[in-house]
Amino acid sequence: MFEKVLIANRGEIALRIHRACHEMGIATVAVHSTADRDAKHVLMADESVCIGPPAAAQSYLNVPAIMSAAEITGANAIHPGYGFLSENARFAEIVESHGLTFIGPSPDHIRLMGDKITAKAAVKEAGIPVVPGSDGEINDPDEAMKVAKDVGFPLLVKAAAGGGGRGMKLARTSADLAQAVQTARAEAAAAFGDGAVYLERYLEQPRHIEVQVVADSHGNVVHLGERDCSLQRRNQKVLEEAPSPALNAAQRQEIGEIVRKAIGKIGYLGVGTVEFLYENGEFFFIEMNTRLQVEHPVTEMITGLDLVREQIRIASGEKLSVSQDQISFNGCAIECRINAEHPKTFVPSPGMVKDFHVPGGLGVRLDSAMYSGYTIPPYYDSLIGKLIVHGGCRKDALRRLKRSLEELVVAGVETTIPLFKDLLHEDEFIRGEYHIHWLEDWLEKSAD
Ligand code: ADP
pLDDT digits (tens, 9 = 90+) for 375-421: 999 999 999 999 999 999 999 999 999 999 999 999 999 999 999 99
Ligand 1 center from residue 206 Cα (angstroms): 10
Confidence of residue 165 (pLDDT cuts 50, 70, 90): confident
Quick check: 245 pLDDT over 90?
A: yes
Cβ-based neighbours of 339, under 8 Å, separated by 6 or more: 346, 382, 383, 384, 415, 416
Ligand 1 center from residue 235 Cα (angstroms): 6
Q: Would you give the distance in Å from CA 399 to the centre of its chain? A: 25
Quick check: 447 pLDDT over 90?
A: no
Ligand 1 center from residue 115 Cα (angstroms): 14
Q: Would you give the distance in Å from CA 234 to the centre of its chain? A: 15
pTM summary value: 0.97
User: Which is the closest atom of ligand 1 to the Cα of 204?
Assistant: 25
* Contact by Cβ (8 Å): 110, 87: yes
| Ligand 1 atom 11, closest CA | 235
State mean pLDDT over 143-172.
93
Ligand 1 center from residue 297 Cα (angstroms): 22
Pocket test for ligand 1, best of 168, 205, 209 (most atoms within 8 A of CB): 168
- Name the least confident of 29-38, 56-65, 189-198: 189-198
Q: Which residues line ligand 1 (CB under 6 A)?
A: 131, 156, 162-166, 200-203, 208, 232, 235, 275, 277, 286-287, 436
Confidence of residue 138 (pLDDT cuts 50, 70, 90): very high
User: 294, 273, 378: which is closest to 336 by C-alpha?
Assistant: 294
Pairwise CA distance, residues 7 & 103, whole Å? 10
| Ligand 1 atom 6, closest CA | 286
Catalytic residue among 10, 16, 207, 291: 291
Ligand 1 center from residue 436 Cα (angstroms): 9
Pairwise CA distance, residues 25 & 23, whole Å? 6
Write down the pLDDT at residue 217: 98
| Ligand 1 atom 20, closest CA | 286
User: Which is the closest atom of ligand 1 to the Cα of 165?
Assistant: 3
Q: Is 291 a catalytic residue?
A: yes
Q: Which amino acid is at 114?
A: G
State mean pLDDT over 200-216.
97
Pocket test for ligand 1, best of 277, 279, 439 (most atoms within 8 A of CB): 277
- Name the least confident of 151-160, 164-173, 238-247: 164-173
